[in-house]
Structure 1
Amino acid sequence: MSKPLVATEDLEAVIRRMPEAFTILDFVEAFQQMFPDLWRGLVERYGLYGSGTRYSALTYLSNRLSAYSRRKTPGLLEPTPVGWKPEEGRYLRRTTREERKRFGSPWIVIYRRREEKQ
């Protein structure tokens, strides 16, 4: 298996700075501030959402965060459900008009941090 472009440790560093509940768009803003060179590398490789590519830097981080939330070893996020249907709930909501422009989907996942055990 190849090494991911964004290490799990980097994902966790950003998650630790996030509020209790957040979306991928919130995560990307924090990621850009904490790891600007890494973000630029993702944009150079995949492009930005809306730049004519189906897979973008945002898609990459979204997929990494989703996989992290569902991993077998509990991490810093509550697991998000698999195979859900689009309806408002604890882990899913409709996007605002602005979010839809930036993200593309009418639905967005709400990630929730777990309390870290000291």
Structure 2
Amino acid sequence: MFDTCGNLVNIQKADYKDVSAKYWVTEAKETNFMVVYNDNTFCPEEKLTRAEAVKVLNRLFQRGPLSGVDKPTLKDVPTRNWAFEEIEEAARDINTKLIKMEKN
């Protein structure tokens, strides 16, 4: 079911004749579950960036964004990054302690 990269393989495309793609795009935008760009566009055919994926996972786990942090946990995510508060939330456990990031 998964290839070596963790991608789904040999899965048939779902065909929902009773629910249009527009419905799902609207649902994603209205619930703020998926990232919607500042120009009010939604790009379901594009690959998610790391920051976008973090925002989606935070919504899935009903977390964040975390405000009031002025020092970045991760060196490659400056405070001016649009997803800074989302990434800070994901980098901390429920009790807002820093999650230890192991170097590979």
Normalising by the residue count of structure 1, what TM-score does the alignment of the two structures yield? 0.26
Higher strand proportion (structure 1 or 2) = 1
The TM-score, its normalising length taken from structure 2, stands at: 0.28
Greater relative contact order, per chain length (Cα 8 Å cut-off, separation 6+): 1
More helix by share: 1
Q: Which has the larger radius of gyration?
A: 2
